[in-house]
Structure 1
Amino acid sequence: MTGTVERTEAGGLLKEWRGRRRLSQLELSLRAGVSARHLSFVETGRSRPGRDMVLRLAECLDVPLRERNRLLLAAGYAPVFAERPLDDAEMDPVREVVRRVLAGHDPYPAVVVDRDWTLVEANTGVALLLEGVDPDLLAPPVNVLRVGLHPRGMAPAVANLDQWRAHLLHRLRLQADWTGDAGLDGLYRELASYPGADPGPPRGTPPLAVPLRLRRNGAELSFLSTVATFGTPLDVTVSELVIESFFPADDATARALGAPRTPA
């Protein structure tokens, strides 16, 4: 009886992921190199997928490593992806890479966050972004999206708050939908309840990317952000780390942060 429940649950989870990726059984079967009939039997629990089959389908569906472990457990197999805390000795190389990246990005702000947008590490440049933020929002664990959009966070200093808010909410909505993470869905609902409005269609020449325009000491600083992740991770924790780096979007901001002028 237990095996039947596990097989049905595994098949149901695979079906959920297939639906989330908007793939038909035929499309997924072609990607995975299995028959649509066999895939149908797996999803309904009539056939038990082998360990390799679970991993192959999860790979084709781009399922996060954390959820691949869950699929394996539901099918009756042991997880294959380790999940080590970041302070584990085996994670020393990861921490070293993160710290080198953060230090190398100074004086520009950069942060490392986990899958819940909880702050893991930051460089000294981040202090510029956090000026005036309520200390309660900076008490660990710090959620960087909450800090960015909360009325007692960075929001009052963001000159293009409606535009920046729409960008962050859209990004979070996509992440929640892609990962199926209920926690991210709850975070989205919380942040969407904060004051703000739809920025509407862009006027004039649309920007190449949405900047963060920050009021500081009577001036306006403008930043563009980039996101980096670890390539081909085999550890759940590593796969969920994101490094977000902010670069000056104009020469005035670069000068204000003590950086050389961008070459022509």
Structure 2
Amino acid sequence: MHTHTSTKHAGICVRDLRARQKVSQLDLALRVGVSQRHLSCIETGKASASKEMLLALLEGLEAPLNIRNETLVAGGFAPLFGSRPIEHREMNTINEVIDLMLMGQHAAPAMVLDSEWNLVKFNPGFIRLMNLLEFDVAALQATPNILLALTAPGGLATRLINPAEVLGDVLRRAQREALHVPSLQAMLNQIPQSMFESKVPVDTNNPTLVTRFQSAVGELRFISTFTTFGAPLDITAASLRIEHLFPADEQTRTAFS
């Protein structure tokens, strides 16, 4: 049986997450099917929340698995989701799928990022792209964060032909994700504010945003796809996404053939 104090802390976790996402008490109550009054009592610690209720509230907020674990522990319950390192033997199937996707389109640059945009894995096409952009792969591996690599002085953004368009999309995406990942928000705070302020019209002549690089072989044009694991039950697996950069014109296809 959990104590009033631990339940109060769990309620604060729910309240803080709800506030970060700018979700009202009424909205969350409707999503979960409880009264706003009961939700208010849980958040203030006046009412205890069962494990099932906490999980329902966290599901209603689409909380990351690590936040769900932290809230359960704060409520006096055992954590529900594992957090295996990527090299753990129980992650073998995850790694096999990742390697298959990285090498299945080996000519197209591809990389695996975690929830903080750290570079976890990449394929030969990605190395080829970095070389064509004359960007130091060793330096990127030393500080393997794509957000910082893009926005640092002399970073990858300096190779972009359409930096405002691409950075605008990247930073908006990162800001949305930071609602669930506080450590990502801390990283965004390191990026110069001016990079968040540029607004340019998106070229709607294309069906998707085209990332354009100036390289040693001329302009390279890519469209991006993102792949995540369906129904993850492990914090590490949930944090991973695979980004493919597919050539968007003949010149780029030739450079990566």
Same fold (TM over 0.5): yes
The alignment-based identity, stated in percent, is 35
* SS at 1:38 equivalent: helix
Q: 1:88 to 1:251 in 2, by over 3 A?
A: same
1:60 is displaced (CA, Å) by 1.3
Residue 157 (structure 2) pairs with residue 155 (structure 1): yes
Q: Measure the CA separation in 1 of the matches of 2:83 and 2:211.
A: 34
Number of the residue aligned with 1:19: 19
Greater mean alpha carbon deviation, residues 220-229 or residues 210-219:
210-219
Aligned Cα RMSD in Å?
Answer: 2.2
Corresponding pairs, count: 254
Q: Which amino acid aligns with 2:121?
A: E
Match of 2:173 among 136, 154, 171: 171
Q: Measure the CA separation in 1 of the matches of 2:198 and 2:86.
A: 38
Q: Measure the CA separation in 2 of the matches of 1:105 and 1:43.
A: 48
1:211 is displaced (CA, Å) by 1.8
Q: Measure the CA separation in 2 of the matches of 1:197 and 1:54.
A: 38
* SS at 1:112 equivalent: strand
* SS at 1:82 equivalent: coil
Number of the residue aligned with 1:262: none
Question: Which structure 1 residue ranges, 5 or more long, are not aligned?
Answer: 259-264
* SS at 1:81 equivalent: coil
* SS at 2:191 equivalent: helix
Q: Measure the CA separation in 1 of the matches of 2:4 and 2:197.
A: 49
Q: Which amino acid aligns with 1:176?
A: A
TM-score, normalised to structure 1, is: 0.88
Number of the residue aligned with 1:230: 229
Do the aligned residues in 1 keep the contact of 2:7 with 2:74 (CA within 8 Å)? yes
* SS at 1:214 equivalent: strand
Question: Which structure 2 residue ranges, 5 or more long, are not aligned?
Answer: none
* 1:13-56 per-position Cα deviation (integer Å, ceiling 9, x unaligned): 11122233443333322322223222121111011101111111
Number of the residue aligned with 1:80: 80
1:155 is displaced (CA, Å) by 2.5
Q: Measure the CA separation in 2 of the matches of 1:153 and 1:220.
A: 17
Do the aligned residues in 2 keep the contact of 1:149 with 1:194 (CA within 8 Å)? no
